[in-house]
Amino acid sequence: MGRVVSKQWRAQRKRDYYYRKAKEEQYRSRASYKLLQLNERFGMIHPGDTVVDLGASPGGWSQVAVELVGEGSRVFALDMDRFAPIDGVTFIRGDIRDADVVAGLLELIPEGADVVISDMAPNISGNYSYDHARSIELCEHALRFASTVLKPNGNFVAKMFFGDLSKDYVASVKRLFYSVNVHHPRASRKTSSEVYVIGLGSRKPRSNPRTS
């Protein structure tokens, strides 16, 4: 049964428009188009911005971020997994829940970041309630990280599996940003429960990673 499912999944992926488009345009992931579409709609990333990409592997969002910020700007990719090099991207291997990792990043960008983006998702267990709760937990870590590193008026994007905990999470984002939107980009599969929470214009000064 597992082999049949695997073959069916591979066949469906090969027929997927964004998967084929990513191969043709040399993006590492079909998720690249999600960020492109989100940025086209909400304008989170601008030329000259410093961007931090959480859960960056395999690098599809980092590729897009480099294109959007332009030459000479800085993109930092964080992940616990390995990450093949990308021109213009500084990779830091570590866990955003680790205060030492956050402090190390801040040493590289003491002035802070303009944008934090997160396409992090939990390993799927098949139990939606559990997967949703794990997704919200990752979103909370991303938001806490953003509150630490974002400059005033910085922007934030995080992937969330929609469910009964979503309302409270969106409310917490609204407390930190002037404008908040929840969006399902075209590149997300229609059957997917994933949505993206976009926070524009951070309200508060950056917090101290050693005390937050």
The set of catalytic residues is: 159
CA-closest candidate to residue 56, choices 33, 80, 34: 80
Angle made by CA atoms 43, 181, 196, in degrees to the nearest 5: 85
Beta bridge partners of 202: 177
Which value, to the nearest 10 degrees, does the dihedral of the CA atoms of residues 4, 161, 103, 178 take?
A: 150
* 8 A C-beta contact, residue 35 and residue 18: no
